[in-house]
Every structure is written in structure tokens, then in C-alpha cells.
Amino acid sequence: MYLKIFEENNDVDLSSTLLLERLKGLHPKSIDLSLDRIKRLLASLGHPERRLPPVVHIAGTNGKGSQIAFLRAIAESLGKRVHVYTSPHLVKFHERIVLAGPSGSAPIAEDRLADCLLRAEAANGGKLITLFEITTAAAFLAFAETPADLLLLETGLGGRLDATNVVDKPLATAITPISIDHVAFLGDTLAAIAGEKAGILKAEVPCVVGRQEPEALKVLEARAAKIGAPLHIFRRDFDAFERGGKLIFQTAAQQIELPLPRLHGRHQIDNAGAAIATANIMFGSESTNEALERGLTQAVWPARLERLPPGALYNYVREGSEIWLDGGHNPGGAQAIARALAEMRQQQPGPVHLIWGMMETKDAQAVIAPFKGLVDRIYTVPIPGEPNAFSASSLMKIAANEGFKAAMTSGVRHALLQSRTASSRPKRVLICGSLYLAGHVLKLHGG
């Protein structure tokens, strides 16, 4: 429909991969937090952000994607058509923009992505803009032009100055657990980071607040009081916990018993509880126990404490071994993974090996520390195609200084082979430290 605008220009290449590479050149920085540039571009595009379906805007440090996965599954179980915007992607950029369709939601098609990128590029007119900003504008075009009942919108970084924070009146907002991350852009204290996340709060728009440290919660409550945003706070207004192999969700008015979430780890009970609280706000009496049950048991969110199914990487481990994958890359995420790993080891004892790669912008020492006493060996790996990743040798030194038995390897397959030869027993192997590494692993595995 829209591609005909560009057909007369023989220099235009409609490959989204080449387009994205070209758009990277519009700003010397990958991150430059501001709302001015995207507001200018959206105005040139006719304000697609004003034609979106009802929006749930989600910020936080950890658990955003998992909460979105639960909300999407709950909404779709109610027959709702759901758009989803998340970042970063694991294997293909198209994963970031999920569009509702007659047979359910799916990542944006290649021709549609290229079309929206070209239109955003033309409207921008070569002006300074970051890749995330211009691709967010392109996503808003796709969302505005595709019928849906709901848009689950994840912030890219922070909240206050994030490119997604241009929706004046979302249906609801949510803030997941906040921890130290992206200190160069958001500040180096929980209070400073919480202040940035609180920027998505809107007057008279309800916000569901997940489990928080007191320092962060205090900031969120102060901002909400100042602008008149009603808060629904974990452990104050709602709670979720495990009892007798079930998830118990309760408020002052109700207590319901549901199956445990499909996603692994005790932290997913918190995420599921926040999703249920958000669904209750969004759908009211439509949010039946049956819909909630289907949502919890059908939610899918790859590379978040995911046990890999049969595939290529099992050729490199002993029969009976398990391969787990998680993209957590900050101290809060690492603590959640470590708690889940400890529970697994208690239920099923046996050797645990860690394959670890990270970006240099992250606090590697703080991420690896929670695994003390839980893993027998660490194999460090580079992350292919990421010049800002730690070298395997640097990570090995960090792990060794923390008291781990560590060895550097040339890559994931080499690390799996090293793990295999270290003992003759089947083992649990966890690959972790970066979403970029997780995406690389999924490619290797064939998923």
C-alpha cells in the first residue's frame, strides 16, 4: 500500500536489515535520552501515537518481558487482539514489533517492517535521531494501522525520557522491580533510577507496582502523590505466593488459587501476581479465573530461565544433561536466577556448570557473585559480533578472583565440550549473562 511511494527511487533497498544499518547512521550515539526528536518525527508522521489501541506502559529493571508475556497470554485467552512492543530482540529485529492478527499475534512481516521504516526515514528527512527513536516511530505506525484491542508497550531504557513515553493517557502503567543498571544514563542509586522509571506515571492512570526496595518505593509513591496517579502496590494492595504447589493471589476483597506459572523461577510468581493485578484493572469482571489460569500456563518468554528443548546444542553435552538459558545481565536479575538455580539443585542434586558472557557496560562482579556455592565450574565465552563484550579472559579473571573454578573458552560449543569432558556425569548447564549471548545461543541451537 505505502511502498508505491518509494518505488520510483531505484536506490531504495527494501531489506529491513540494510535499512536498519542505514538508520544507525542518523545519530553518532546509540543512546541519547530525549523526547524532542521522536515528538518531532511523530508529528511529521501524523501523530500515530494518538491513534494507538489502549496502552499498558511498562517500565522497570527486571521482569518487564515476563509480565508482558503473562498479560499477553491472559488477554488473548479472553479473545483480545494484542500488539506487543519489546526490546531488545534475541534473533531477529522483527521480534520487537508483534502485531495482532486474525489467527493471533505474530512478529511483524518483513515487507511491513521495511515499509514502516522507509516511511519513518522519509518523514525524518535526515535529521538527527537515534535508531531506537526512529524504529519506535515505525512501530507506532504499524500499531496504529493494525486493528487491536490492546498494546503492551515496554520502555527501552528508563522511562521519563524514553522514546515510548509519548502516550498521554495509557489505560494503565506498571513498574516492575527496580535495581541498579544502566548507571551511565539513569544514575547510580536506586532512588535516581526509580525517579526515571516513575516518569511513566500519568495523572489518574492506575499503576501496578511490583516488589520494590524501600528506597525505590519511596520515590514512586512521592511521584504518584504529586501528580495524582493511583498506585496498586505489591504486598500492600495485592500479594502472590506459592502454597501447596499452587499460586495464591489475594487482595483485601478476594483470594484465588491458580496453577504455578509456566515460566520458571520463584520470581515469576511475583511477575505473575503483578500481571494478574494489572489484568484485573484492565478487564474488570472479564478477568475470570479460567482466563488467568490459561494465561499463567500458556505464557512464553524465551531466554528467561528457559530449559532448551531438544536441538543442536545437545550434541555437545552428555546424555541426560540439561541446558538452561537466561539473558539476565544485572545484579537483581542474577540474584533471581541464582535463587531458582538453588531450588533446582535442592530438588535434583547434581553438578552445575555455568557458561558466562557479558557486555562491558555491565557489572560483571556483581552479577557473578550470587552464584557462589551453587556452581561447580564456570566457562567464560566471548559474544560474537559484539565489540563491547567482555573477553573470555577478562571474565575468567573476574570469576577466579571471586573464588570460582573458571576456564576461558572460544565460544559456547567449545564451552559445552569442556563441560562434557570435566566429568562423566550428566549435569545442568546454565548459559547466562547477556541477552545478546542468549540470542546467539538460540541461533546455534536452531530456535
pLDDT computed for residue 423 by the predictor: 84
Average pLDDT, the chain: 94
Query: Structural domain boundaries of the chain?
Result: 3-298, 306-445
β-strands 239-243, 106-107 pairing? unpaired
pLDDT computed for residue 332 by the predictor: 87
pLDDT mean by block of 10 residues, the chain; 447 residues: 41 76 95 96 98 98 95 96 96 97 91 97 98 98 98 96 97 96 88 97 98 97 98 98 97 95 93 98 93 95 93 96 94 91 90 96 94 96 95 97 97 97 93 96 90
User: What would the pLDDT profile of 75-100 be if each residue is shown by its tens digit?
Assistant: 999 999 999 999 999 999 999 999 99
User: Between the CA of residue 82 and those of 57, 75, 349, what are the distances in Å?
Assistant: 13, 7, 41
pLDDT computed for residue 35 by the predictor: 98
DSSP 380: E
pLDDT computed for residue 8 by the predictor: 40
**Cβ count within 10 A of residue 310:** 9
CATH class (in words) of the domain with range 3-298: alpha beta
CATH architecture of 306-445: Alpha-Beta Complex (3.90)
pLDDT computed for residue 447 by the predictor: 59
Helix (H) or strand (E) holding 17: helix 16-24
pTM of the model: 0.92
Using the CB atoms, write b or e for 53-67: b if 16+ within 10 Å: bebbbbbbbbbbbbb
User: What would the pLDDT profile of 318-335 be if each residue is shown by its tens digit?
Assistant: 999 999 999 988 898 899
Handedness of CA 217, 178, 304, 294 (dihedral sign): positive
For the sheet with 55-59, list strands across it. 106-107, 97-99, 82-85, 150-154, 55-59, 172-175, 207-209, 231-233
pLDDT computed for residue 429 by the predictor: 97
pLDDT computed for residue 182 by the predictor: 83
3-298 with 306-445: one CATH topology?
no
298 touches 262 (CB < 8 A): yes
Q: Is 79 exposed, middle or buried (0-12, 13-18, 19+ CB in 10 A)?
A: exposed
